[in-house]
Structure formats: structure tokens, C-alpha cells
Amino acid sequence: MPTVEQQFIWLFVLAAPVACIAWTVTHEEVFDEFHDWCAAKSRSSRALYQRKFFYLFTCEYCFSHYVAAGIVWLADFRLLVPGWRGALLAWLTLVWVANFYMSLYGRLRLDIKRERVEIKAEEHAVKKLTRSK
């Protein structure tokens, strides 16, 4: 079994693809049609299990659980203890770190968007000033 330090390095490395996949599927335009279809199905399906299944593809937190489970399985990743307990701990911790990454990314995107709006407003004000002179 890898050292604790190596396990934590793997934890933070493996959280990046979990966050990337979960964010891309649930937020990015490349999956927009799929996202809209799943959102509609999650609202209109008769069966509860169908509504919940389709909702998974619209929520980055929910979807990250499944992506993390796949990554833990593919990488055979265990955290701190061997066996199923280490896999369970790795899975839940990986979800937590990936969602932390997604929160940071979402915040960064929001700050960038706000800066762009502020810059456009300043440019508009400058153009207005130069026109009035």
C-alpha cells in the first residue's frame, strides 16, 4: 500500500478529473442539449426513480459521486485503510475534494464574468465621454 503522503497526492490529483468531468457534463455548452433533455425528463417522468436518475446529470454534486466511484474503481484507489473501507473513504473524500475544486472554479468564472461586465461598462462610459467632447 502506498504511503499516506502518496495517497493524499493521489487524492488531490484524482479529484481534478472527477471535477472536470462532472462540471463539463452538468454545465458546459457541449452537453447543453443533453443537459436540457435530462432536466426536462427529471421534471416530467412519472416514476420517482426516473426523475432522480435524470436529475443526476443536471447536478454537479450528484454526478460527481458517480464519476468519483468510477475513478476509484478504475484507479483501484484506497485511502488510509485497505479493502472496501479504504475504497469507501477514498470515494467520499474524492467527492468532497472534487466539489471543492468545482466551487473554486465556479467562483473564478463568476469573478471573471464580473470583471468583463465592469470593463465593458467602463469602456462604454469612456466612449460616451469622448463623444460628448
pLDDT of residue 127: 80
Q: What is the mean pLDDT of the chain?
A: 91
The per-residue pLDDT for range 13-24, each reduced to its tens digit, is 999 999 999 999
pLDDT of residue 111: 84
Whether 132 has a pLDDT exceeding 80, the answer reads no
Question: Is pLDDT larger for residue 29 or for residue 98?
Answer: 98
Q: With bands split at pLDDT 50, 70 and 90, how would you rate the model's confidence at 77?
A: very high
The per-residue pLDDT for range 78-96, each reduced to its tens digit, is 999 999 999 999 999 999 9
Predicted TM-score (pTM) of this structure? 0.78
Whether 133 has a pLDDT exceeding 70, the answer reads no
pLDDT of residue 87: 95
Q: Are 107 and 80 in contact (CB under 8 A)?
A: no
pLDDT of residue 106: 87
